[in-house]
Structure 1
Amino acid sequence: MSFDYDLFVIGGGSGGVRAARIAASEHGAKVALAEEYRMGGTCVIRGCVPKKLMVFASSFPAAIAEAQAYGWDAQIGGFDWTAFRGKLDAELDRLEKIYRAGLNGANVTVYDTRATIKDAHTVCLASGEEVTAKHILVATGGRPFVPEFDGCEHVLTSNDIFKMESLPKSVLIVGGGYIACEFACVLNGLGVEVTLMNCSPLLRGFDAGARDLVVAQMEASGIKIVTGIVLDKVEKTDDGFAVHGSDLRDAQFGAVIYATGRIPLTEGLGLEDAGVTLNRNGSVKVDEWSQTNIPSIYAVGDVTDRINLTPVAIREGHAFSDTVFGGNPRHFDHEMVASAVFTQPEFASCGITEEQAQEQGGAEIYCSAFKPMRSSFAGAQDRVLMKLVVDKSSRRVLGCHIVAPEAGEMIQMVAIAMKMGATKEQFDATCAVHPTMAEELVTMRKPSRSY
């Protein structure tokens, strides 16, 4: 059978673009890609990149206060959201052009339109055109989830934050995951009065000791955290929004932001009609090769709900193209993937948590919490935490959790050693760099706890 393309990719995010570019430029495949919004996906356009730039912007008031403590006659004025947003939009435009240039340079045909799947080898474009492909790759990512409730049409999501015309004086953020906590810290740093509400404790699933320290320091920075509450109504008022829900009845906020998780973007794609099996949460069910139950259809990235991180999607997309078009069968190893939460302070981790180690047994916990030199000199109450989870028998470091400024930079280096199977004794044999915060990772000699 003759096909229009060797590969048709649905979704122009990091995973889809990488797969398309590698298949075309390195393996000579004839490739097309469809994207209905903007090239770059969640990470570049409405996630990691704009969020991190907002993190940078929000950190300057604390830096000025610290400079004053160090003897500088430093002052800071008001924050110009409009000026910042203009530069942010220009930067995202620049990055999108880079993504497009990469596809064009690889001779990938780009369709700026929505695409759905008709059958195992046919894709339907919103224009009505149908094209065929030997292989189809679904890389549509995810979207913010907002539950149905009275007044849900009034709330914003993480997608909307970057497009706000002005910063509200006060905001209620609903959610307890890393996105909610990150934006709470960002908006707090930009001068917004922030209340963070969730029905359960924040940052569930993360290491409890590290999580508790992050939450305590968020509260110390002025963020009001309220848990055990379920919001049931939001009303538009002359002054903003009135919120109803347990102890928050009739509370007023300038804006309400929902960060209650993300769901795979599979609705209306035609996957089920094509026979593709979906998981209960709507994600695409794939095997270790990112292949669905329909041999010609694959999926990578957040739409599969494996590890929802941009670098993971990129690796999955690259491995897919090498396997299917490069004659080099390989799949991405989802073990020991490091990640960082860009709260203030940052929280980074790799491997298992202390709670998981306790459940499994046979582990030692090495932990150190202290005031870092820089903050201590400035009179701040900031604390950092370094924790290692070590297997008793093999002595391998199975988990590392860091709460500290630039924790994400530290965990990247630690993850290399952990991926190589480094033992606690090899950490100990590594000479410390002094004075640094990270030296604690190689100077903790006695376990704090054992399971």
Structure 2
Amino acid sequence: MSERDVDLFVIGAGSGGVRAARIAAGHGARVAIAEEYRIGGTCVIRGCVPKKLLVYASRFPDAFEDSEGFGWSVPEATFSWPKLIAAKDNEIGRLSSIYEANLVKAGVEIFRQRATVVDAHSVRLADGTVVTADVILVAAGGAPVKETFPGAELAISSNEAFDLPELPERILIAGGGYIAIEFAGIFAGLGVDTTIIHRRDRLLRGFDEDLRDEVADGLIRRGVTILFEDEIDAIEEGGDGVKSVRTKTGATIEAEAVMLAIGRDAKVAGMGLAEAGVALNPRGAVLVDENFRTSVPSIYAIGDVTDRLNLTPVAIREGHAFADTVFGKRPVTVDHSNVPTAVFSTPELGTVGLSEAEARAKGEVDIYKARFRPMKATLSGREERVLMKLVVDAATDRMLGVHIVGEDAAEMIQVAAIAVKMGATKADFDATMALHPSAAEELVTLRTKWTGD
């Protein structure tokens, strides 16, 4: 056994760091972990979990309205933002305590303070204590990108959005990715006058073009105003808590809240990584090899701090693989291809595999596409559509991408991802019996190639 204090020191007790610590301890390693905020990390505390709870809340007004088409008469509903936030806080507190209990059960020593890297085998805690380790794992995650325009300090990020004391009457959200779109749907659903301002001409860069258009159309139907090809130039504080926003095209927008959702950066500032010799990429993220090792052999990194595929399940899988490889002596690599993902907008988006543009860049493809009104909307009267799209390799018939926009898209895409990962063909989908009546049956009944007409 090494004479150092621990075999593994993990910086960051988010989903990836906690998984790595637990699995390494299960392999017999002496493990310590440090977390400066709350155990659970971004996903549990200020990300996926509370976001999804707020998404659920934002969809109830639609459900109340839709129920009338099915014979229900719903009395006028009332909503309490403080009550929702209190319930959300209780749930994330419960989950955080479970994460902590699992670490304790595994025998991991927990330091509730910031830790920074001193050198290849040492970390310094906020109280000045230096802990030595054979291996250091950086799993500090990411943080919202900050702006420097005049008045930027008057804006909030997604971190603060989860704990607003009250709902604003109007909100301006800057950004066009997951976070901006999801919060736009949340606030609009809860009755807030919502505007998105985005410097590009379309939302959701990197997604399939049909999905991008469908989500934008759905947000507009939901009452969200979208300002493309514009940016915030300055924010000024007005009276009665109203903020006056000047944009680069010369427009003026007033809102009680302004939210910046323009991306997230790897959380490496002040961590001592560069000083310890750890190589970073131009964006400041940690560079790692296929086994998560940095340029310093005893220092590893996983999850969002590497800025590769910033999704919680990816960080968890990487943390597990790291622990198995380094402490279980069983080399495991993580395949980052065909990873399913969802945008919990309303309408919801689920996708796995290649977009049409990505697939066409590799060779000839066949496209199958359907856009239809779901059964629920026939009685509710809601202007709702479901989009389903299959991208197929023309030469091999292999399914390259499955893309869905509509209710429960995330649930469907998780199952479809299994087939895509296994290399299923369009013929395999065709041979699968449909489950009727369901929206998902369209995935196995699409027969006519899309010609663009």
Taking structure 1 as the reference length, what is the TM-score of the superposition?
0.98
Tell whether the 8 Å contact from 1:210 to 1:402 is kept in structure 2 after alignment: yes
SS at match of 1:232: strand
Pairing 1:296–2:298 present: yes
1:53 alignment counterpart: 53
What residue identity is the alignment partner of 1:227? F
Q: Structure 2: how far apart are the matches of 1:132 and 1:323? A: 21
2:38 alignment counterpart: 38
CA, structure 1 residues 57+248, in 2 after alignment: closer, same or farther (shift >3 Å)?
A: farther
SS at match of 1:431: coil
For residues 103-182 of structure 1, the aligned pairs below 5 Å read 103-182=103-182
Tell whether the 8 Å contact from 1:36 to 1:114 is kept in structure 2 after alignment: yes
**Deviation per residue, 1:393-413 (Å, 9 max, x gap):** 221101110001010000010
* Aligned partner (choices 298, 311, 314) of residue 313 of structure 2: 311
* Aligned partner (choices 437, 443, 446) of residue 445 of structure 2: 443
Deviates more, 1:71-80 or 1:365-374: 71-80
2:211 alignment counterpart: 210
1:271 alignment counterpart: 273
Following superposition, the deviation at residue 235 of structure 1 comes to 0.4
SS at match of 2:441: helix
Pairing 1:238–2:242 present: no
Tell whether the 8 Å contact from 2:6 to 2:134 is kept in structure 1 after alignment: yes
Q: Structure 2: how far apart are the matches of 1:414 and 1:10? A: 35
SS at match of 2:20: helix
1:192 alignment counterpart: 192
Following superposition, the deviation at residue 79 of structure 1 comes to 1.3
Q: Structure 2: how far apart are the matches of 1:268 and 1:351? A: 36
Following superposition, the deviation at residue 248 of structure 1 comes to 6.1
1:392 alignment counterpart: 394
Deviates more, 1:168-177 or 1:70-79: 70-79
Tell whether the 8 Å contact from 1:363 to 1:389 is kept in structure 2 after alignment: yes
What residue identity is the alignment partner of 1:447? K
CA, structure 1 residues 76+58, in 2 after alignment: closer, same or farther (shift >3 Å)?
A: farther
CA, structure 1 residues 148+339, in 2 after alignment: closer, same or farther (shift >3 Å)?
A: same
Pairing 1:66–2:80 present: no
What residue identity is the alignment partner of 1:23? A
Deviates more, 1:374-383 or 1:34-43: 374-383
What residue identity is the alignment partner of 2:213? D
2:5 alignment counterpart: 4
Tell whether the 8 Å contact from 2:69 to 2:381 is kept in structure 1 after alignment: yes
Q: Structure 2: how far apart are the matches of 1:414 and 1:250? A: 45
Tell whether the 8 Å contact from 2:145 to 2:263 is kept in structure 1 after alignment: yes
Tell whether the 8 Å contact from 1:7 to 1:30 is kept in structure 2 after alignment: yes
Following superposition, the deviation at residue 358 of structure 1 comes to 2.4
Tell whether the 8 Å contact from 2:233 to 2:247 is kept in structure 1 after alignment: yes
CA, structure 1 residues 248+379, in 2 after alignment: closer, same or farther (shift >3 Å)?
A: farther
**Deviation per residue, 1:319-344 (Å, 9 max, x gap):** 00000000110111111100000000
Q: Structure 2: how far apart are the matches of 1:249 and 1:228? A: 12
Q: Structure 1: how far apart are the matches of 2:194 and 2:153? A: 21
* Aligned partner (choices 420, 423, 426) of residue 424 of structure 1: 426
What residue identity is the alignment partner of 1:345? P
SS at match of 1:360: coil
Q: Structure 1: how far apart are the matches of 2:224 and 2:252? A: 19
2:80 alignment counterpart: 80
What residue identity is the alignment partner of 2:227? V
SS at match of 2:136: strand
What is the aligned residue count? 449
Tell whether the 8 Å contact from 2:174 to 2:231 is kept in structure 1 after alignment: no
CA RMSD of aligned residues (A): 1.1
SS at match of 1:59: helix
